[in-house]
A and B are shown apart, each in its own frame.
Chain A
Amino acid sequence: MAQKKKEEKMVATSKVDLTQVKPYGDSLNDGMVETAFTLPVPHGEEANEAARILTKKMGLMEPNVVYSKDMGSGYTFFVVYGKCVHTVDFTNIKVTKVEVDVMSREECGAYWEMNIGRPVVIVGASTGTDAHTVGIDAIMNMKGFHGHFGLERYKGIEAINMGSQVPNEQLIEKAVSVKADAILVSQTVTQKDVHITNLTNLIELLEAEGLRDKMIVIAGGPRISHELAQELGYDAGFGPNSYAEDTASFVLTEMVKRKMV
């Protein structure tokens, strides 16, 4: 009898129901989540209570303020644990991704050597009124981002970063004059959907000049998804946490696929 009960329990707690997934602390479905945050209130019992109430509103039950600290000037830091009430249906998740096997910088270099061998020219810019170069610099400049070197450092790739506030016309002109294989457009500002207008305009100009099919055209930025980019007529879109290797892998393999070598 005792043994049967134990078996039942083992089955009950070790099988993950993928239609109702929740965080795992030390046993299935305990929902344990750790959070850390600051509230603009002075340290004290009331602050701790505020943190507990807020944590519950986040869907974390039985909140436990394990640490709180006065940070001065009326701010308090908290570490709070709670049990998440929400679940996710993992069987029903769909993500549109750029379909490419991402290669490291070194692998890109080797791939280039084996399959292309001639300089690959990539022109990039933050276009329109957008003054932010952080994205395009991260992908193109030597320094790169998060320890991921930029395209300037890639073997076989000649990266031309035109900087910010580049009109679409000027970007196209440059791309034609250097015989670019690919164009990278970065859009950071998305207020009033200015990026949509701007990105659409570039594709229209390229099509009007009969250039669209001669180049690989890629969009990137914190609010850009592959899905959105494809809708707008781009070959690929890269959102947050994308690096030069993602772009380079896509461009190089796409060139080979399209026999642009």
Chain B
Amino acid sequence: MKSKLNLDVKQIDEARSSAKRIAESMQEFIDRHTTVSTERTILRLLGVDGTDDVLTPLPNVVVDRLLDNGQLSKGVANFIGSAIHNLKKSPQEISEMVSEGTLDFESLKPVKKEDVEKALKPYITESLKKIKTQTEKREEYLKTIGEGKKPYLYVIVATGNIYEDVVQAKAAVHQGADIVAVIRTTAQSLLDYVPFGATTEGFGGTYATQENFKIMREALDEAGEEVGRYIRLCNYSSGLCMPEIAAMGALERLDVMLNDALYGILFRDINMQRTLVDQFFSRVIIGYSGVIFNSGEDNYLTTADAFEEAHTVLASQFINEQFAVLANIKEEQMGLGHAFEMDPDMENGFLYELAQAIMAREIFPRASLKYMPPTKFMTGNIFRGAIQDAMFNLVSVWSGQSLQLLGMLTEAIHTPHMQDRYLAIENASYIFNNARNLGEEIEFKENGIIQKRAQKVLKDARALLMDIEKEGLFSTIEQGKFGGVKRPRDGGKGLLGVVVKNEDYLNPFIPLMMGGAK
């Protein structure tokens, strides 16, 4: 396809190669480490669930025990595998015994590596089969009842009560939504455990729990069958429990998951070492289970200026793409993020937004680009807000975005009311339908404002990537080059949960998932 923006292919290639080397050098660090959340994820995938009598999730009980004893560097799979071999009990039963104090891993006889692997195998096979069943179910739905046209209409619910969320989500589906995201309760990203069971109390959102996932999945399948289109469910594989939530999402057939270490580092002050290691396993799971991940570059523009810092978004998209490649994620599952966040008072701001949106599409032609609505300059004037959202919708259909998080006219006031969502869907449906093929009809003036804008952003992104490659990603973040936020390498939350692997370390899921095991 010929570039409408006259972008220099050589610059794109150079930027991409630079990002590749950045991701690869991080991967060397990642491969040497594991984390408490990575280990808990392994337990969950081995079928461990539930809590002890003070409501601590069993995966936490077991992993914390190993961490306290300084044994986590071998990986929890080694201990579970040898316990299965010794005791002929399931990982769930073994975890319960650890929790009740009737089993001490140190009392177990040493077991040969191949016996550990053999002991784990049936549980691994079962878990992978469960995930495969879910991906097949998704494919079957897409084949039989189909899906909405792109850009998918993506809305959020955030009542705090999963059962109320279901009511709102179903109404949204009947109004035309294609993707429903359940916003998490404030500060869940900083919890170092995943709460258990169905929940009805949250603040500004609803707890991400496996049971809540299941409840919403069933509701959306039902609503999807009623309206004759598959409805995608979205949640957050982010924060301190990134990979655990990815595993829960894979098991309960989530379709879209927000997943971005850089976002957690910058905006949730999560330790960078911790979350980059966590991100890797979560992306392997995401890739394996056919989930689209969403990266959070759009957030940079809520702190940094959308015009001045556009190149940081593009640079980060390149890096996120390469991290995803290393986790074996298909391009179609890469929901790289960007946003419509320029000051509405800026002359020609619309042209710049358009240039950047088309640029993202040209540089990542097959990615499921996630386009985020205006938030920063939403004022509480809902009438003007509706127009800002309309401008955003027009850019989206024109530039061929994939996942359109709908702007709410009441942004900056409260979490969406039912009618806000209806008005947002009506707004987007009107514009998408009314301007469906606009992008195919229009070309841009050579060296005009739009072409020049895109070319400049690409040029600056390439230069930034070369800098990062020289400096390393950790120091780049320490210097505050993304989103204008500085975070120290050893600062933030969760560093204590990072452990150097020893030579016996075992995570049996990674090779199998990356190899596309059945």
Q: Is the CB of A77 within 8 A of B485?
A: no
Cα–Cα distance between A36 and B383 once the two chains are bound (Å): 12
Chain A proximity of B204: nearest CB distance (Å): 7
Which one of B204, B267, B418 lies within 8 Å of A71 (CB-CB)? B418
In the bound assembly, the distance between CA atoms of A188 and B204 in angstroms comes to 12
Contact between chains at B303 and A71 (CB < 8 Å): no
Q: How far is the CB of A186 from chain B (nearest CB, A)?
A: 12
Chain B residues with Cβ below 8 Å from A71 are 171, 174-175, 418-419, 422
Contact of B418 among A75, A142, A143, A152 (CB under 8 A): A75
- Whether A55 sits at the interface, judged by CB under 8 Å, is no
**Per-position contact with A for B294-318: 1 when CB-CB < 8 Å, else 0?**
0000010011000000000000000
Known contacts: A71-B174, A72-B175, A132-B186. The answer to whether A146 contacts B412 by CB under 8 A is: yes
Interface size on B (CB < 8 Å)? 29
Instruction: Give the complex CA separation of A146 and B303 in angstroms.
Output: 10
- In Å, the complex CA distance between A163 and B269 comes to 10
Of the listed residues B203, B302, B303, the one surrounded by the most CB atoms of chain A closer than 10 A to its CB is: B303
Question: Using a Cβ cutoff of 8 Å, how many contacts connect chains A and B?
Answer: 67
Q: How far is the CB of B260 from chain A (nearest CB, A)?
A: 15
Chain A contacts for B170, CB-based, 8 A: 72-73
Question: Given A71-B175, A149-B303, are A134 and B419 neighbors across the interface (CB < 8 Å)?
Answer: no
Q: Does B481 contact A (CB under 8 A)?
A: no
The verdict on A72 contacting B303 (CB below 8 Å), with A38-B417, A147-B377, A153-B484 known, is: no
B387 at the interface (CB under 8 A from A): no
Cross-interface CB contact of B203 among A73, A132, A141, A152, cutoff 8 Å: A132
In the complex, A110→B517 CA distance in Å?
A: 61
| Chain A residues closer than 8 Å to B174, beta-carbon distance | 71-73
A187 lies within 8 A of chain B by Cβ: no
Question: Would you give the shortest CB distance from A46 to chain B, in whole angstroms?
Answer: 19
Residues of A within 8 A of B171 (CB): 71-73, 75
Which of B173, B175, B266 counts the most chain A CB atoms within 10 A? Answer: B175
Interchain CB contact under 8 A, B204 and A134: yes
Q: Which B residues touch A132, using CB under 8 A?
A: 186-187, 203
The answer, among A36, A131, A149, for a CB contact under 8 Å with B419, is: A36
Pair A134/B302 contact, Cβ less than 8 Å: no
Q: Is there an interface contact between B419 and A143, defined as CB atoms closer than 8 Å?
A: no
Complex Cα distance A134/B414, Å? 13
For B303, what are the chain A residues with a Cβ–Cβ distance below 8 Å? 142-144, 149, 153
Partner of B187 from the list A38, A75, A131, A143 (CB cut-off 8 Å) is: A131
- The residue that B483 contacts in the complex, of A72, A134, A142, with Cβ under 8 A, is A142
Chain A residue at smallest Cβ distance from B173 = A72
Please pick, from B204, B302, B379, the residue contacting A143 in the complex, using a CB distance under 8 A.
B302
B167 within 8 A of A: yes
Question: Does B376 belong to the interface (CB within 8 Å)?
Answer: yes
How far is A133 from B187 in the complex, measured between Cα atoms in Å? 7
In the assembled complex, the CB of B493 is this many whole angstroms from the nearest CB of chain A, namely: 8
**Residue A69 at the B interface, CB < 8 A?**
yes
Give the distance to chain A from B225, nearest Cβ to Cβ, in Å.
Answer: 15
Please provide the chain B residues from 415 to 435 with a CB less than 8 Å away from any CB of chain A in the complex. Answer: 417-419, 422
Name the residue of chain B whose CB is nearest to the CB of A70. B174
CB distance from B239 to the nearest CB of A (A): 13
Shortest Cβ distance from B191 into A: residue: A131
Residue of B with least CB distance to A152: B485
Chain B residues within 8 Å of A, Cβ to Cβ: 167, 170-171, 173-175, 186-187, 190, 203-204, 266-267, 299, 302-303, 375-379, 412, 417-419, 422, 483-485
Instruction: List, sorted by A's number, 16 A–B pairs whose CB atoms are closer than 8 Å.
Output: A72-B171, A72-B175, A77-B422, A131-B203, A132-B187, A132-B203, A133-B186, A133-B187, A134-B186, A134-B204, A141-B267, A142-B483, A142-B485, A144-B303, A146-B378, A146-B412
The 8 closest A-B pairs by CB, nearest first: A72-B174, A147-B376, A73-B171, A77-B419, A142-B485, A38-B419, A143-B303, A146-B412
